[in-house]
Structure 1
């Protein structure tokens, strides 16, 4: 069995909103100056990986127990082996031991053990004193199979507090202190699931640079790197996901701009590996659709761009026209909302593509939030009877949806109305659920069923 060396670090926290994402972004930027860095994000999030990808200048892949099941180690190791990268960073979600299961089998701690990755704990110390030591000792002792390799103290309020915390940690524990960060004025605004994504590309890069320059003097990158190199070697096992190739190249136009950018990197990589040429277009800026065999409109925040999306009437009408001509269109969440007659948000209404004859409204609280399991209503569909494991986080719901027809039944989750998901019309399929297609079943069979490569 093949063995590989993979210097790696796992950034986690005692609880969510401790600053681990901001620190992960800064570390990714710093490390990518010296190493070819590959990043991973635990969980179904599609926004944090966008920032990690920009900071590292390399893809970021999701590690999620619900999507990957017992393949999570194989998936992780094979991504490392195939990447030709020299350093690896995993960002956790929530707290280190947080989980829906009592035994913590899908927690960050479990993932750190499976991937044999040293863990750095980020702690928001803004309201902590000497009690921090009890917290840290509890974290270390709770599961001794997790290699807690150091702590980063975030949101320090004063020089006096910093001095007292460092003295207490050094006196009562053996944990290395890998960073002491004062309360920062620079942060990334949180909205819905993870970090906001509506900034223009150059603004995102500027923010990453500002965050990094603001934090790097407070982080012990030398010690963090040393810990990463202490990670044991990994065994590369057989990875049984088939490689599928299309008979000829297929061109798919993918909506990508500030309004639509929620895509799992794995989905896009799968499309390219099977022989798809991706042509990106902007529903905000582009007047014309690119010439393509199909359209893919991912999630995002179209409700924040109602006026500008409505003004681009030419592109909206082209999308409607293509749908009526039978061009295959697949959409998710924000993409589904964009295909309805209109979106109403905060008292404003914007006309959308009118592919579906109903209107979108948004509630203040999420309508659907969490993992979903979808099964095709028609057992003879291109998916046969295969179930889809996906994720949803949406505030949208529909009015005047009497014409709604669905492709999926909901076995878990909410979807469009609690019972179904995947609105269909002509050759359009649009979900509220985001599909993570790591086995390359969904998109390959969707393309084949539409005979795009014949």
Structure 2
């Protein structure tokens, strides 16, 4: 049994756009710069925020989500981190009570207090009403402190403090400052590796928080959970080549950990810069931004030929979202320019003017239920019929899953630890044994 007591907080907000991502990153950097070991987690599916949070904290960042990763894994990861961390921060998703399960649900499950960040720009005494609403909405979730963001002056911050009801105090009031922002694009924040000055940005943001009085530690909580059993070594002797560069970067650390724990040897390569795929038994093309690098990818003929050769040899390929786009015959970028792609999946992937799909989904098979999510701004026009469709969390039809000649391609992003046997089957090139809608997942 793992058990430890450590200061911890769920950094949340009334809704998206309040600034909680940058506040979480700045808090992590502030306490790291003070000599503390800070472990940060992200509630729910997200690839981009964790990239920044890893740079901020200097430690690996994992996802926590009671439905996608499972309640037991949430408790275990937090308890494991508590054993050697000086501070644990969990960045919430959307608003405190948004989604099912919400950030509030995760906070209650873990026994971590919620610490809302409220954008107070254009707000005075109403700040207290918002804080009171968050604190009283769920009596089982204590909200004892709040952070004001985007204040205009010290007087503004004092008005906010005075507006708070008994039992809620202002932990700090953050002034408007360019240091508290990071560029974004259609899928969220710009990738951490694309920001040459990210370290300086984070140090500047940490100083802003210190000046706002946010250098204190949150209350300590006790976190405990049993350690999980190691997964079966179903991939012993299997070498998996994984695309990893600016175009293919949406990879959960937990997915890599699972593949290694099941015995796989992992070899990384860049479809943008390299000319060949490492010698491997299987290939993983994860999601990312192939649409931003389509011209470079299309011009790398040797690499495209190498991936085609891997496929012709009958070796398995998993292509997720951006990987699916790259496997199509063509990719039309946001400007409408069409680029030749790998050509394993007939048809064209094209960027759309608005979001095409978003939400939690799962793929149900006799080898396990692979849980995950979808989030994309492109669509695929193909003559192929899907072998299966993922199911939305609500039970309705989700993303198409194309399976042919060793290729498994979908806009669906899987969280591998939710279904180790299925993941191993995909990378061994074994068929998926699907369940119908009426069969239980443990059939």
Mapped to 2, the partners of 1:373 and 1:438 lie a distance apart of 13
Residue 390 (str. 1) matches residue 372 (str. 2): yes
Paired position in structure 2 for 1:380? none
Paired position in structure 1 for 2:16? 16
CA contact (8 A) 2:363 2:369 kept: yes
Paired position in structure 2 for 1:103? none
Paired position in structure 1 for 2:172? 179
Name whichever of 258-267 and 331-340 sits farther off.
Answer: 258-267
| Alpha-carbon shift at residue 41 of structure 1 (Å) | 0.9
Mapped to 2, the partners of 1:385 and 1:252 lie a distance apart of 20
Mapped to 2, the partners of 1:419 and 1:13 lie a distance apart of 29
Mapped to 1, the partners of 2:235 and 2:50 lie a distance apart of 32
Mapped to 1, the partners of 2:358 and 2:51 lie a distance apart of 20
Name whichever of 314-323 and 134-143 sits farther off.
Answer: 134-143
| Alpha-carbon shift at residue 268 of structure 1 (Å) | 0.9
Mapped to 1, the partners of 2:153 and 2:104 lie a distance apart of 31
Paired position in structure 2 for 1:200? 194
What is the DSSP-based 3-state SS (H/G/I as helix, E as strand, rest coil) of the residue aligned with 2:293? helix
Paired position in structure 2 for 1:285? 273
Mapped to 2, the partners of 1:333 and 1:298 lie a distance apart of 7
Go from structure 1 to structure 2 and tell me whether the alpha carbon gap of 1:154 and 1:247 turns closer, same or farther (over 3 Å shift).
closer
Aligned length: 425
Residue 358 (str. 1) matches residue 350 (str. 2): no
Paired position in structure 1 for 2:324? 336
Mapped to 1, the partners of 2:131 and 2:156 lie a distance apart of 17
Paired position in structure 1 for 2:307? 319
Residue by residue, what CA displacement relative to the aligned partner does 1:278-312 show, whole Å, maximum 9, x if unpaired?
Answer: 22222222223223222111111111112222222
Q: With structure 1 as the length reference, what TM-score do the two structures score?
A: 0.85
Go from structure 1 to structure 2 and tell me whether the alpha carbon gap of 1:214 and 1:435 turns closer, same or farther (over 3 Å shift).
same
Go from structure 1 to structure 2 and tell me whether the alpha carbon gap of 1:321 and 1:206 turns closer, same or farther (over 3 Å shift).
farther
Alignment of 1:406-445 (within 5 A): 406-412=386-392, 421-439=400-418, 440-445=420-425
Paired position in structure 1 for 2:31? 31
What is the DSSP-based 3-state SS (H/G/I as helix, E as strand, rest coil) of the residue aligned with 1:89? strand
Go from structure 1 to structure 2 and tell me whether the alpha carbon gap of 1:128 and 1:80 turns closer, same or farther (over 3 Å shift).
same
Unaligned runs of 5+ in 2: 432-443
Mapped to 1, the partners of 2:198 and 2:293 lie a distance apart of 18
Alignment of 1:197-276 (within 5 A): 197=191, 199-200=193-194, 202-222=196-216, 225=217, 227-229=218-220, 231=221, 233-237=222-226, 239=228, 242-246=230-234, 248-276=236-264
Residue by residue, what CA displacement relative to the aligned partner does 1:360-396 show, whole Å, maximum 9, x if unpaired?
Answer: 11211222211223235xxxxxxx3633322101122
- Give the alignment's Cα RMSD to 1 decimal: 2.7
CA contact (8 A) 1:369 1:413 kept: no
Mapped to 1, the partners of 2:137 and 2:192 lie a distance apart of 39
Q: With structure 2 as the length reference, what TM-score do the two structures score?
A: 0.87
What is the DSSP-based 3-state SS (H/G/I as helix, E as strand, rest coil) of the residue aligned with 1:389? strand
